[in-house]
Amino acid sequence: MKPVMMIAAAMAVATALPLHAEEKVLRIATEGAYAPWNFTGPDGKLKGFEIDLAEDLCKRMEVKREIVAQAWDGIIPSLTAGKYDAIMAGMSVTPEREKVIAFSKPYAAGINVLAVAPDSPLADLPGTGETWSLTSQSDQAQKRLDEIRPLLDGKVIGVQGSTTASAFMENTFGDSVELREYKTAEEHNFDLMNSRLDAVLANATVLAEALTKPDMAGAKVTGPMLSGGIFGVIGVGLRKDDSELKQKFDEAVGAAVKDGTVSALSEKWFKVDISPRD
């Protein structure tokens, strides 16, 4: 490149920069392997409930968005390290996570359930088809869990590592079951069908989606759907010192929940409304 051209190119870049700076780009991380919340489509593009919601929220906040896929087990450290500004990846608000990051207002409720392979003796566990909140209906939930405990004794249960499902299994059935932790929900579903696992515990919406796939034909959801408590609610993960962004997200999420956008998106992707209720 000739010197004159280099100078011209440098000037072009220099004049272009201020224009770009006006339009702030918000970097949002998702996992990309948690259908239908967020997943990578056959065309390699990110899709799902949270991708649509992120688009809506960014419109409300009047920012340009860039969504990146990030492996689940590094998703919080990378946020605090500043690789992106927000996490929308089906992440439940937990006290442990709140020690490290901040959360916006919730945009969904977390519901978890067990699933088993076809012909499993664990199909139709006590409470199948019921939904209990660990917070407001703790007595009923506890009764069902106590009935289930002896049936799960010595069984191998798969969960995705660093999730509320893994924390719940460890706290509730830790000494009676053998717990295996996987990187993704897809991997534990594989091993469920391979008969390496007796059951998996995962987000009900993710399981419902997975069970529609031909390679999981015959697998069943079993035992009660559990919400509240450790499963809590799902919000946008943010850096603690980023209070300006938190305020923006709080407003945008609050508005999206109120005007029914979240319910509509939830119905579209999950066939059920899991928008948070006060």
Partner 1 sequence: MGDFLTFMAVSLTTLLRGVPLTLQLALLSVVTGGILAFALAFMRLSNRVWLDYPARAYIFVFRGTPLLVQIYLIYYGLGQFTGLRASFLWPFLREAYWCAMLALALNTAAYSAEVVRGGLLSVPSGQIEAARSCGMSHWLTFRRITLPLALRQMLPGYSNEIILMVKSTALASTITVMEVTGLAAKLISQSYRPVEVFVCAGAIYLVINFAVARGFTLLERRFSPERQRPHVQPNQIEESRV
Alpha carbons within 13 A on the beta-carbon side of 125: 25
The residues near 90 (Cβ < 8 Å, ≥ 6 apart) are 31, 34, 37, 38, 50, 108, 110, 203, 206, 234
Q: Is 171 in the site for partner 1 (CB under 8 A)?
A: no
The CA-based angle 127-132-134, given to 5 degrees, is 125
Least Å from the CB of residue 166 to partner 1: 8
The answer to whether the CB of 72 falls within 8 A of the CB of 89 is yes
Q: Within a 10 A sphere around the Cβ of 220, how many other Cβ atoms?
A: 18
The CA-based angle 218-220-208, given to 5 degrees, is 105
Least Å from the CB of residue 164 to partner 1: 11
Least Å from the CB of residue 29 to partner 1: 15
Q: Is 242 in the site for partner 1 (CB under 8 A)?
A: no
Least Å from the CB of residue 162 to partner 1: 3
Which position among 147, 191, 242, 273 is part of the footprint of partner 1 (CB under 8 A)?
191
From 34-42, 135-143, 182-190, 234-242, give the range in contact with partner 1 by CB under 8 A: 182-190
Least Å from the CB of residue 191 to partner 1: 7
CB-nearer residue toward partner 1: 60 or 155? 155
Contact positions toward partner 1, by CB under 8 A?
Answer: 73-74, 76-77, 80, 96-97, 99-101, 161-162, 166, 180-183, 187, 190-191, 194-196
